[in-house]
Amino acid sequence: MKNLISMRDLSKEEILHLMDVTGKIEAGKIVPNMQRKLAALLFFEPSTRTMFSFDTAMKRMNGDTIIMSGTGQTSVKKGESFADTLQTIAQYSDIIIMRSPVEGSARYASEVVDIPVVNAGDGANQHPTQALLDLYSIVKTQGTLENLSIGLAGDLRFGRTVHSLAQAMALFNVKFKFISPSFLKMPQYIKDDLKSQKIEFEEYENIEDNIDDLDVLYVTRIQKERFADPEDYEKLKGSYILERPMLSNVKENLKVMHPLPRVDEIHTDVDNTEFAYYFPQAKNGVYTRQAIISILLGEVR
Ligand code: NCD
């Protein structure tokens, strides 16, 4: 593994190895040391969890970070090209972790610089480090990744987290329910991929009638910033809200996950049920990102 750009680049073995390393880091059995290592966090889109958990991960390992949040104070404003900015940052740092609204930008960056690049979200395309922390959260709560029933709900069209997660879970004989308004359905290229891998999925528009047989319900925010026409967003906002009474007949082992930020799609009355897992899920992001950085920098094999 030289870069982490798309879930499609990872084999099942590599994913399982990452899960194993993440578990050992959480348990304190592996203590990676990133002293004198510097991660450059380039975030051209807003972020709370991804940016701060990468920052935390690096600092927990005695490493350090430099952070570019937006382009406001940098020479990008003077007209410097993306390629020149990247090549400069690569002179100072050991690894680049970047988020951008432009699909394919992380792949492009990995072709421009010769240090590892991690995709922390490229437009509506991919968010592989989120998928890995989601997988870790699933294995931690369900004891396995194999043969699970997983519901993906909300914005399946523009949500990059569900694209990466669907591709990752396809390696584990998953059964999917895709729950979304018809405007926000899972893209055809992902469904074609799943079909070619013989993965079962069904599409629904309504949450409450379709969650009782799930092991994981993964809820996502409607991605307002990706809508070409704000009126389309206005029509759909608030149309998917998970509320506590809907959970009365679900399986005991159900976990409700969410990459966060939440807008209104999970009512806060779900937060103190045994099903809610979105905040521990965010914590798992630190261990997962420690594992990702350690493997990419050759500290852990
Ligand atoms: C997600 C993202 O940026 O794609 N957030 C995250 O990284 N946890 C989800 C979202 O913004 O809805």
From CA 4, how far away is CA 18, in angstroms rounded?
12
Whether 74 is a known active-site residue: answer no
Taking CA atoms only, the protein residue closest to ligand 1 atom 11 is 261
* Active-site residue (options: 22, 50, 65, 161): 50
Indicate the burial class of 301 (C-beta count within 10 angstroms; 0-12, 13-18, 19 or more).
exposed
Q: Is the CB of 259 under 6 A from ligand 1?
A: yes
Q: How many CA atoms lie within 13 A of 125 on its CB side?
A: 18
Taking CA atoms only, the protein residue closest to ligand 1 atom 12 is 221
Q: Is the CB of 161 under 6 A from ligand 1?
A: yes
How far, in whole angstroms, is CA 7 from its chain's centroid? Answer: 10
Cβ distance 58 to 50 under 8 Å? Answer: no
From CA 301, how far away is CA 296, in angstroms rounded?
9
Whether 258 is a known active-site residue: answer no
From CA 12, how far away is CA 176, in angstroms rounded?
18
DSSP 8-state class, residue 276: B
Is CATH 3.40.50.1370 what the domain over 32-125 is classified as, yes or no?
yes
Predicted pLDDT of residue 144: 98
Predicted pLDDT of residue 72: 72
Q: Do domains 32-125 and 128-282 have the same CATH topology?
A: yes
Residue 261: is the preceding peptide bond cis (ω within 30°)? yes
* Active-site residue (options: 49, 177, 191, 258): 49
Mutate to test the pocket of ligand 1, among 127, 262, 266, 281 (most ligand atoms within 8 A of CB): 127
Domain chopping of the chain, boundaries:
32-125, 128-282
Phi and psi, residue 158, nearest 5°? -100, -10
Q: Is the CB of 160 under 6 A from ligand 1?
A: yes
* Active-site residue (options: 22, 37, 127, 289): 127
What is the model's pTM?
Answer: 0.97
Give the bridge partners for 262, in sequence order: none
Q: What is the CATH number of domain 128-282?
A: 3.40.50.1370
Taking CA atoms only, the protein residue closest to ligand 1 atom 7 is 50
Tens of pLDDT, residue by residue, the chain (301 residues): 899 999 999 999 999 999 999 999 999 999 999 999 999 999 999 999 999 999 999 999 999 999 998 877 778 888 899 999 999 999 999 999 999 999 999 999 999 999 999 999 999 999 999 999 999 999 999 999 999 999 999 999 999 999 999 999 999 999 999 999 999 999 999 999 999 999 999 999 999 999 999 999 999 999 999 999 999 999 999 888 999 999 999 999 999 999 999 999 999 999 999 999 999 999 999 999 999 999 999 999 8
The ligand 1 atom nearest the CA atom of 223 = 12
Q: How far is the CA of 161 from the centre of ligand 1 (A)?
A: 7
Predicted pLDDT of residue 140: 98
Indicate the burial class of 11 (C-beta count within 10 angstroms; 0-12, 13-18, 19 or more).
exposed
Q: How far is the CA of 193 from the centre of ligand 1 (A)?
A: 23
* Token pair listed for 282: 């965010």
**What are the strands of the beta sheet with 64-69, ordered from one edge?**
64-69, 38-43, 95-100, 117-122
